Amino acid sequence: MLPEEVQRRPPHVRPLPPTPADTGAPARGVRQAFAAVGDGLRFIRGHRLIVGLLLINAAAMVFTMPQALYPVLADEQFGGGPGVVGLLYAAPALGALVGAATSGWTARAGGHALIGAVLLWGVSLTGFGLTALLPLALAGLGDLVSETLRSALLQHGTPDGLRGRVSSLWMVQATVSPALGNAAVGFLAELTSASAAVVTGGVVCVVAALAVAAAFPALRRATLAAPGD
């Protein structure tokens, strides 16, 4: 039991002395921030695994994000109204829920599983574009598994000192790619049709994922399993 006066004393954390980076002028802080981003970019450029992860993520997202077309697909392809639109938005979430509930195996997986998950995403969206709803749930499963493995392999392959910078650049790419994907399928749907845009995007995703897998052996060899597992 602590003495009464110690118990009454408010918690106190001794302030840390400023580092040289903290004592500089604001302009120096801006230069250091840009230099930190440059360090992250140089690391990514020289690391084949990280480049492969970025490219396979782009293959999965840039051409195959059909959410912008759900209202049109619900009306033209499935002959329904708002209720069908709700089902389209919910189907990938159902697949992702199943994937999350059974994702323990991913702790020992690696590049081959990631490539397979991206291929599942692309093939499933191709099937969805051909007037089937169930493949949309499988696409959600593939997306959850691929996102889990992409993030884990990124963290696993980045040194501690660069992890924050590389993760920041990864988040920029992960935010921009789906937006570009929705824009791309919307533009393609204007030229063809909503279903044709989804099918085309799925096929492009499969071809691009296979090309990335062939070009980056480091991605295929990557693993999260500990030695001896």
Alpha helices in the chain (DSSP H): 4-8, 26-45, 48-61, 70-76, 82-101, 111-129, 134-156, 163-191, 194-215, 217-221
Do 54 and 176 meet the contact criterion of CB atoms below 8 Å apart?
no
What's the average model confidence in pLDDT over 158-173? 79
The span from the CA of 218 to the CA of 229, in Å, is 20
Statement: residue 73 has pLDDT above 70: yes
Query: Out of 123-137, 154-168, 188-202, which region has the weakest mean confidence (pLDDT)?
Result: 154-168
Query: Out of 2-11, 13-22, 29-38, 78-87, which region has the weakest mean confidence (pLDDT)?
Result: 2-11
What's the average model confidence in pLDDT over 2-13? 54
The span from the CA of 115 to the CA of 222, in Å, is 11
Residue environment code for 8-35, b if the CB has 16+ CB neighbours within 10 A, otherwise e: eeeeeeeeeeeeeeeeeeeeeeeeeeee
Ramachandran class of 228: left when φ > 0, alpha when ψ lies in -120 to 50, beta otherwise: left
Which pLDDT value is given to residue 88?
A: 92
Statement: residue 207 has pLDDT above 60: yes
Our measurement of the distance from residue 174's CA atom to the centroid of its chain's CA atoms, rounded to an integer in Å, reads: 5
| Tokens found for residue 62 | 């840039």
Mean pLDDT of the chain: 82
Which pLDDT value is given to residue 64?
A: 81
pTM, to two decimals? 0.80
The span from the CA of 219 to the CA of 117, in Å, is 13
Which pLDDT value is given to residue 10?
A: 53
Q: What size, in residues, is the chain?
A: 229
pLDDT tens track for 19-51: 555 455 555 555 566 566 666 677 777 778 888
| Amino acid letter for position 117 | A
What's the average model confidence in pLDDT over 146-168? 84
pLDDT tens track for 106-144: 888 999 999 999 999 999 999 998 877 889 999 999 999
What's the average model confidence in pLDDT over 194-207? 93
Statement: residue 11 has pLDDT above 60: no
Query: Out of 1-10, 49-58, 212-221, which region has the weakest mean confidence (pLDDT)?
Result: 1-10
- Token pair 């049709």 is found at 193
Which pLDDT value is given to residue 174?
A: 82
Which pLDDT value is given to residue 6?
A: 46
The span from the CA of 58 to the CA of 209, in Å, is 9
Which pLDDT value is given to residue 34?
A: 59
What's the average model confidence in pLDDT over 144-166? 85
Give backbone dihedrals phi and psi of 222, rounded to 5 degrees, phi first. Answer: -60, 145
